[in-house]
């Protein structure tokens, strides 16, 4: 029974829902709305090759991956609303800079800042939402929150394809427009203050970001004839040293950037490996599919966006189904890896020789989409299943970090093995071979996980913790 006394509380909940879901949707949308614009961005900056353009995706992913867990802990310390608001402001301002970027490297830098803003928004958005409602409503809110991110991913390619026809800068201007109402209303969101205490070790986060960035650079430029062995060796050595610094800081700091104790669980270790390999394959798909659509298949951006959107749409469907099947995470991981590898194999066997949209491309993108929805469910649920409840957030955060770094490595691997430029699907064959192999390796990692039976409630909770 609701009366006049409950009306203000209901309005407050609706306002909170609108603000925080807008923030999380923007963070999800911005990845899938950008990759369809690669061709247009490259045309605006003559002389930029695939290696340079890849950083438009990778700068965002690496910054997001490195700061996601620390910003979640900062929010616990100083307050979720403060961190969420700062992240949304940073995200919107960086989007405006992206739209006005006069050079590719200013665009890349602004994309990294966007990723930092997203890393502040995602871990705080669900906390703000849940704290605005009674516990009885939490599962329903988690499901809606998770679904909005998936829907944003599905609609992103279509929206990007339509906007690119007016110029790629519009994809970032629209982000600013969508963020404006949330920024105007965020001050009215009610939230509990932070609990105080020590801030997490940001030096360890910086070491992780620099190490990942250098590793991605090494993979990307390993086949560039203009890069010397000495340069690659220095970059690889520096990445290794920074990785050691990250591990050392994570083991010694009072509040580490990432709590590495979760790796003691066998299931978590193999889920992390599986997530890394799977999203390396996913990164190859993410950049190659739009390029083959607009290049080899000659589709205009709007139609390319619709064709690419079939993959995220299939992922939404398979995620919903996977959450309701009485299967172990290990079984789901095997199925997800197999489906994704089958998508890459299909493109190799059918799309390369035929160049067909409907018979060659579409079945492959649907297979990869189905695999993505199932595999993400598997590795998040399987990785955290053996952890104590108090370590769910830490484990899910690390898995999400592995997801972003794996995707960045996949994009780097794509540009290392692909001679983009010729207008045939055959130029993508080496990348799709690597994609197929990475999907198979993810399958093998899933086989090594343990497996209690997963439920829809388990998966909803764990996926929400992962962002």
Of 211, 234, 256, the last residue of a domain is 256
On whether both 181 and 310 belong to a single domain, the answer is: no
Together in a domain, 329 and 440: yes
Contact 15, 189 (CB under 8 A): yes
* In a domain? residue 190: no
Residues 149 and 222 in one domain: no
Angle at the Cα of 62 from the Cα atoms of 425 and 214, rounded to 5 degrees: 85
Q: Are 281 and 250 part of one and the same domain? A: no
Report which of residues 122 and 464 the model is more confident about. 122
207, 253 contact by CB (below 8 A): no
**220 to each of 54, 108, 225, 409, how far by Cα in Å?**
9, 16, 12, 8
Residues 267 and 340 in one domain: yes
Count CB atoms within 10 A of the CB of residue 251.
Answer: 12
Instruction: List, in sequence order, every residue forming a beta bridge with 422; answer none if it has no partner.
Output: 420
Q: Which residue has the higher pLDDT, 327 or 142?
A: 327
Confidence of residue 187 (pLDDT cuts 50, 70, 90): confident
Helical spans, DSSP H, in 35-137: 38-44, 50-78, 80-100, 104-131
Q: Are residues 89 and 172 in the same domain?
A: yes
Q: Which residue has the higher pLDDT, 108 or 461?
A: 108
Q: Is 152 within a domain?
A: yes
Q: Please identify which residue in the block is written with the tokens 């205009």.
A: 300
Tell whether the model's pLDDT for residue 2 goes beyond 50: no
Residue 130 lies in a domain: yes
**CA atoms of 277 and 449, how far apart (whole Å):** 14
Q: What is the pLDDT of residue 462?
A: 46
**Least confident interval from 214-228, 291-305, 380-394:** 380-394
Is residue 386 predicted with pLDDT exceeding 50?
yes
207 and 135 belong to one structural domain: no
Burial of 284 (C-beta count, 10 Å sphere; 0-12/13-18/19+): buried
Single residue among 238, 256, 274 that ends a domain in this structure: 256
Beta-carbon contacts of 184 under 8 Å, excluding residues fewer than 6 positions away, are none
Mark whether 84 and 165 lie in a shared domain.
yes
Instruction: Decide if pLDDT at 223 tops 50.
Output: yes
Q: Is residue 114 part of a domain?
A: yes
- Rounded CA-CA distance 290/301 in Å is 9
Helix (H) or strand (E) holding 28: helix 7-34
CATH number for the domain spanning 150: value is 1.20.1250.20
Residue 13 within a domain: yes
Considering the domain architecture, whether residues 219 and 149 belong to the same structural domain is answered as no
Q: Cα separation of 31 and 447, whole Å?
A: 30
Using the predicted structure, report yes or no on whether residue 307 has a pLDDT greater than 70.
yes
Local structure of 193: helix, strand or coil: coil
Q: Which residue has the higher pLDDT, 43 or 28?
A: 43
Q: What is the mean pLDDT of the chain?
A: 84
* Rounded-to-integer distance, Cα 465 and Cα 467, Å: 6
Residue 295, Cα to own-chain centre: how many angstroms?
25
Whether the predicted pLDDT of 467 surpasses 50: no
pLDDT tens digits for range 118-159: 988 887 877 787 777 776 666 566 666 666 766 777 778 888
Percent with pLDDT over 90 in the chain = 36
The answer to whether residue 113 sits within a structural domain is yes
Please state which of the ranges 26-35, 235-244, 368-377, 427-436 shows the lowest mean pLDDT.
26-35
Number of domains in the chain: 3
Which has the closest alpha carbon to 127: 81, 74, 82, 96? 81
For residues 48-52, give the mean pLDDT: 81
| Distance of alpha carbon 431 from alpha carbon 344, whole angstroms | 9
Is the predicted pLDDT of residue 395 greater than 80, yes or no?
Answer: no
Q: What average pLDDT does this structure show over 353-367?
A: 95
- Any bridge partners for residue 134, and if so which? none
Cα distance between residue 362 and residue 26, in whole Å: 27
Of residues 319 and 8, more confidence is placed in 319
CA angle in degrees (0–180, nearest 5) for 311-317-321: 140
Most confident segment among 40-54, 268-282, 321-335, 410-424: 268-282
For position 6, what pLDDT does the model report? 66
Task: Determine the Cα angle at 236 with ends 231 and 242, to 5°.
Answer: 125
Q: What percentage of the chain reaches a pLDDT higher than 70?
A: 86
Model confidence over 164-177: pLDDT tens digits? 888 899 999 999 99
Q: Kindly state whether residue 381 falls inside one of the protein's structural domains.
A: yes
Task: Judge contact between 407 and 280, C-beta under 8 A.
Answer: yes
pLDDT at 146: 65
Domain identity same for 284 and 418: yes
Rounded CA-CA distance 208/242 in Å is 7
Q: Look at residue 127 and tell me if it is in a domain.
A: yes
Give the residue ranges of DSSP H helices in 349-451.
352-354, 362-385, 392-417, 429-447
Give the range of the structural domain holding residue 73, as residue numbers without chain letter: 9-185
**For 238-260, what is the mean pLDDT?**
89
Last residue of a domain, one of 239, 256, 273: 256
Q: What pLDDT, on the 0 to 100 scale, is given for residue 196?
A: 63
Same domain? 247 vs 265? no
Handedness of CA 275, 276, 277, 283 (dihedral sign): positive
Residues 166 and 206 in one domain: no
Does the structure show a pLDDT above 60 at 464?
Answer: no
Tokens of 411: 């994009």
């Amino acid at each position: 029974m609701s009366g006049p006394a409950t009306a203000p509380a209901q309005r407050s909940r609706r306002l909170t829902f609108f603000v925080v879901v807008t923030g999380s949707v923007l963070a999800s949308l911005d990845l899938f709305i950008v990759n369809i614009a690669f061709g247009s961005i490259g045309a605006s900056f003559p002389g930029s090759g695939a290696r340079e353009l890849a950083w438009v995706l990778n700068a965002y992913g690496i910054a997001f991956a490195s700061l996601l867990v620390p910003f979640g802990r900062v929010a616990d310390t100083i307050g979720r609303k403060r961190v969420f608001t700062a992240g949304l402001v940073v995200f919107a301002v960086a989007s405006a800079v992206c739209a006005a970027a006069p050079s590719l490297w200013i665009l890349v830098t602004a994309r990294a800042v966007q990723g930092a803003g997203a890393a502040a928004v995602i871990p705080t958005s669900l906390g703000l939402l849940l704290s605005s409602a009674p516990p009885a409503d939490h599962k329903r809110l988690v499901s809606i929150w998770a679904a909005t991110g998936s829907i944003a991913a599905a609609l992103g390619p279509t929206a990007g394809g339509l906007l690119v026809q007016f110029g790629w800068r519009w994809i970032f201007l629209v982000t600013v427009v969508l963020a404006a109402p949330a920024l105007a209303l965020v001050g009215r969101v009610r939230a509990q203050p932070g609990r105080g205490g020590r801030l997490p070790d940001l030096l360890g986060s910086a070491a992780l970001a620099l190490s990942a960035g250098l590793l991605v650079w090494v993979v990307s430029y390993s086949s560039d004839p203009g890069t010397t062995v000495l340069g690659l060796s220095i970059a690889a050595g520096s990445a290794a040293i920074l990785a050691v610094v990250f591990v050392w800081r994570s083991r010694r700091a009072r509040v580490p950037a990432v709590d590495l104790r979760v790796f003691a669980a066998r299931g978590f270790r193999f889920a992390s490996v599986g997530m890394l390999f799977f999203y390396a394959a996913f990164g190859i798909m993410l950049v190659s599919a739009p390029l083959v659509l607009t290049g080899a298949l000659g589709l205009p951006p709007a139609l390319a966006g619709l064709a690419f959107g079939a993959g995220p749409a299939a992922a939404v469907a398979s995620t919903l189904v996977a959450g309701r099947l009485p299967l172990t995470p290990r079984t789901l991981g095997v199925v997800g890896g197999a489906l994704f590898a089958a998508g890459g194999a299909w493109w190799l066997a059918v799309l390369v020789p035929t160049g067909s949209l409907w018979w060659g491309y579409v079945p492959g993108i649907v297979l990869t989409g189905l695999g993505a929805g199932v595999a993400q469910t598997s590795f998040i649920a399987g990785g955290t299943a053996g952890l104590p409840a108090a370590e769910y957030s830490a484990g899910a955060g690390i898995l999400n970090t592995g997801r972003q770094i794996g995707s960045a490595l996949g994009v780097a691997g794509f540009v290392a093995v692909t001679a983009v430029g010729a207008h045939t699907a055959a130029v993508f064959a080496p990348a799709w071979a690597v994609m197929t192999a990475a999907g198979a390796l993810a399958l093998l990692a899933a086989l090594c996980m343990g497996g209690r039976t997963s439920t829809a409630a388990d998966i909803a909770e764990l996926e929400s913790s992962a962002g």
